[in-house]
């Protein structure tokens, strides 16, 4: 997939998140679903915080800060197919777990807009980034700037499925 198609996909996915946000009440947004797990609020907190944090190593790659390390074959497959392998439930990395919190709808909207603004600033530079320069992802290993962009897309799509499960449980 080209960086341009991933960029436009990220914009479209973010619009979907905004649409879901607009279609639920503040009470629904805050309520832990009957199936347990995270509320809408906690999902939004996690996904956009993680997306913004993922732009940090992406930006490092744009600035030629990183290492020349290989990307694992299985990770290249994930990036190629555009989805995480099926699993009952993924655990959020420890360093991100404490960052998940209940936020309100206004904060969620601000998070989305912050992500999109930061994405707009990095996107024009991605095609010029050195593909050999990579930065460490906590689970996937070393990714270059384009791979970080693709990971953000995959991660956002993954959590849309979680939002559908929450919606069905109410």
Q: Indicate the number of domains in the chain.
A: 1
Say what the pLDDT of residue 33 is: 93
Which domain CATH number covers 100? 1.20.120.450
Percent of the chain surpassing pLDDT 90: 85
* pLDDT value at 45 more than 80: yes
Q: Which residues pair with 141 in a beta bridge?
A: 137
Tell me the average pLDDT across 34-53: 94
Residue 31 belongs to what domain range? 3-169
Tokens of residue 34, six digits: 């009957």
Cβ partners under 8 Å of residue 169, min gap 6: 33, 34, 35
Mean pLDDT, range 72-89, rounded to an integer = 87
Tokens in use for 22?
């607009």
**Strands 67-68 vs 133-137: parallel, antiparallel or unpaired:** antiparallel
pLDDT tens-digit series, residues 92-135: 767 777 789 999 999 999 999 999 999 999 999 999 999 999 99
DSSP at 24: S
Does the pLDDT of residue 89 top 70, yes or no?
Answer: no
Contact present, 159 and 13 (Cβ < 8 Å): no
Q: What are phi and psi of 12, to 5 degrees?
A: -65, -45
Q: What is the mean pLDDT of residues 132-156?
A: 97
CA nearest to 50, candidates 97, 14, 106, 12: 97
The predicted pLDDT at position 19 comes to 97
Average pLDDT, the chain: 93
At residue 166, the pLDDT reads: 92
pLDDT for the residue 61: 97
Q: pTM here?
A: 0.93
Averaged pLDDT, 7-26:
97
Question: How many whole angstroms separate alpha carbon 26 and alpha carbon 72?
Answer: 42
């Amino acid at each position: 997939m080209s960086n341009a198609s991933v960029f436009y996909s990220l914009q479209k996915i973010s619009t979907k998140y905004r649409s879901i946000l607009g279609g639920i009440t503040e009470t629904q947004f805050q309520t832990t679903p009957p199936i347990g797990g995270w509320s809408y609020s906690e999902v939004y907190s996690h996904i956009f915080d993680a997306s913004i944090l993922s732009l940090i190593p992406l930006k490092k790659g744009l600035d030629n800060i990183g290492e020349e390390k290989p990307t694992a074959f299985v990770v290249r497959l994930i990036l190629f197919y555009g989805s995480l392998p099926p699993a009952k439930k993924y655990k959020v990395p420890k360093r991100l777990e404490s960052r998940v919190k209940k936020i309100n709808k206004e904060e969620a909207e601000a998070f989305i807009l912050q992500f999109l603004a930061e994405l707009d600033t990095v996107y024009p530079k991605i095609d010029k980034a050195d593909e050999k320069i990579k930065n460490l992802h906590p689970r996937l290993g070393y990714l270059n700037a384009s791979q970080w962009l693709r990971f953000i897309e995959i991660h956002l799509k993954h959590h849309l499925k979680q939002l559908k499960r929450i919606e069905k449980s109410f």
